[in-house]
Amino acid sequence: MIPTFSEGQFDVVVVGAGHAGCEAALACARTGLKTAMLTLNLDSIAFMACNPSVGGTAKGHLVREIDALGGEMGINADKTALQMRMLNVGKGAAVQSLRCQSDKNAYHTEMKRTLEHTENLRIVQGEAAEILTEEGKVCGVKTTYGGIFYCKAAILATGVYLNAETITGDVVKKSGPNGFAPATELTKNLIDLGYSVRRFKTGTPARLDGRTVDFGKCEVQYGDDDIAPFSYMTEVSVKNSLPCYLTYTNEATHKIILDNLDRSPLYNGTILSTGPRYCPSIETKVVRFSDKERHQLFLEPEGADTLEIYVQGMSSSLPHDIQIDMYRTVAGLEHCDIMRYAYAIEYDCIDTLDVYPTLEFKKIEGLYTAGQINGTSGYEEAAAQGLMAGLNASLKIRGKEPLILGRDEAYIGVLIDDLVTKGTDEPYRMMTSRAEHRLEIRQDNADFRLTQKGYDCGLVTEERYKKFLERRACYESALNELNGRVPAKEADKFLRSLGLDGTEKPLKYADLIRRGATLKQVKSAFLVLENCGKSAAQSAEIYIKYEGYLKKGLEQIARARKLEEKKLPPDLDYMQIEGLRLEAREKLNKIRPASLGQASRISGVNPADIAVLILYIK
């Protein structure tokens, strides 16, 4: 038996140093808690095991919200960007999202540097073997070497490392991503503590030698010029230093895959766990969408200091010999050399129906989970949960009320509410379609929604808060100025010059925008908003365009909040409430919703059950 020894007394111990672990550790340390972060390997801190990018559809919203609350992901992405693009610019403001192509090694290096220079934070390389408890509360984390980090709270941000196995063809290895060691000791302890554990699967594509790719046969994709970064703390312009490229699979690619399905772990029974629906392997795409003649592939640089090219859209677990043939059927990749082969990875994760909206485990006080251990996929989803778990652990230790964001307040609120109310039977990915109030929780107004909350929690710095107040004042001033009057003659001339219907009466500048003019055209013609920052002016323009819809949305939110305000006792025994169906009783007893609103979103609880609960509460 390995002798134990003390590693010291801490307020919080964070297990894991991926995107969730980094945000959790920073949130705790920056709010004054003595924090330890335990990681299997210091070289895997903030490691981008899959695509080297941050943001994207809905994910960009999460990054902006993390930044608004005082998190680090947006700042780090800005520092290490190779290019940035705004996605969905041809669609409405609600679904436009910023995406950053990141320098993989630089992202890790910069985040590690930030952590190393953070007060109150100790970083230790080691593997957690056991969460120690006393009278139903966390009291420490024990490592495989016998070291005990005594603490008041622990945050598990273990990513895909719990009992991880990589699978390629017939070869199954005990390994984490990219050849890092797996965590093999903790799962049994989690089961003993009362967690429900299951297996999920994800995958990654091959990395190619850029010297062997014919980019001339691909469509080049540059970043956007003069684009706002993720963080308002970033004062320098993001340089678009490297392009990405677009190519496609074809009939020959699909034939190789279909002819070798018997060698695919996904189809020969080797892989039985659940994979991500919205980021499937190339084998799954070819089988599931057999009518499609081709699938998009994005060739993305892994960094400025490497020739490795990431082939987004072509993750696979096929054997190496099949992978070579498959990749070389693609235009531009006919002579490619593979530097790192694709693989699938299986790992243990928990059932988040056992978790409170604070991300605290219902059965052990002071034990939190965040990231892929909660069944999610994606760096951004992980970082958002890490930030919230860290903040809530900090708030609890400091004797303050928890921070629980509503579905009408943030995508983070949607993400966590989905996890703890509905659960997930597959790796969960954030999408704009999951948000009922997506027009109200756009990426451009994340700071208006959340920075005050982050400041009140003690995480947003005075410098960050000052920038927020200045931007909000500029935004309000812009709205006020755009309500200024334009004489009928000038308004009519301006509208007709744009090919729009004229007017016989005076209009506000805002009315000109509602009638189809852009803010840029109005500013140029009437010299308004000359002292207003670009981002605040854009937010004002969006508000004016969608003001009618936003007002209706606020009415819907107000009605929904009435259910959220009707709290349910935490110790209520639903099995004793007559009139509730058996399924509803079982689900309500398991999830223990905090409000009628949360109860109404539980699968298996119908409107009739909610009516019974309303009567019972009365």
Inter-CA distances, 303 with 289, 306, 472, Å: 32, 6, 36
List the structure tokens of 309.
Answer: 């090219």
pLDDT by residue (tens digit) across 139-181? 999 999 999 999 999 999 999 999 999 999 999 999 999 999 9
**pLDDT (tens digit, 9 = 90+) per residue, 557-616?**
998 888 888 899 988 999 999 889 999 999 999 999 999 999 999 988 998 999 999 888
DSSP 149: E
pLDDT at residue number 245: 98
By CB atoms closer than 10 A (0-12, 13-18, 19+), residue 183 is: buried
Cα of 160 vs its chain's centroid, Å: 15
| 312-315 own/partner pairs: CB under 8 Å, 24+ apart | 312/51, 312/205, 313/205, 313/282, 314/205, 314/206, 314/249, 314/282, 314/342, 315/203, 315/204, 315/205, 315/279, 315/280, 315/281, 315/282, 315/342, 315/344
Q: Which domains does the chain show, CATH number per domain?
A: 5-203+347-456 (3.50.50.60), 207-345 (2.40.30.260), 474-552 (1.10.10.1800), 566-617 (1.10.150.570)
Measured CA to CA, the distance from residue 464 to residue 227 in angstroms comes to 20
Whether pLDDT at 236 is above 90: no
Question: Is 34 a residue whose pLDDT tops 90?
Answer: yes
> What residues pair up with 38 in beta bridges, in sequence order?
15, 124
- Predicted pLDDT at 228: 86
> What does the block give as tokens for 446?
């994340």
List Cβ neighbours of 95 (8 Å cut-off, separation of 6 or more): 57, 88, 432, 438
Mean pLDDT of 531-539: 91
Contact yes or no for 438/446 (Cβ under 8 A): no
**Residue 194, CA distances (Å) to 188, 189, 197, 253 in order:** 10, 9, 9, 46
pLDDT tens per residue across span 49-77 = 999 999 999 999 999 999 999 999 999 99
Contact 338, 208 (CB under 8 A): yes
> Among 517, 523, 552, which residue's Cα sits nearest to residue 536?
523
| pLDDT over 90 at 225, yes or no | no
The letter for the amino acid at 229 is: P
Contact 14, 157 (CB under 8 A): yes
Band of the pLDDT at 537, cuts 50, 70, 90? very high
pLDDT tens column, 541-559:
999 999 999 999 999 999 8
The reported pLDDT for the residue numbered 559 is 87
Q: What is the pTM of this model?
A: 0.95
Average pLDDT taken over every residue of the chain: 95
Q: What percent of the chain is modeled with pLDDT above 70? A: 100
| Residue 265 pLDDT | 94
Q: Which two tokens stand for residue 216?
A: 């001339």
d(CA 370, CA 73): 15
Task: Work out the average pLDDT over 359-364.
Answer: 97
Q: What is the pLDDT of residue 309?
A: 98
Question: Is residue 415 over pLDDT 90?
Answer: yes
Contact 130, 347 (CB under 8 A): no
Q: For 368-387, what is the mean pLDDT?
A: 97
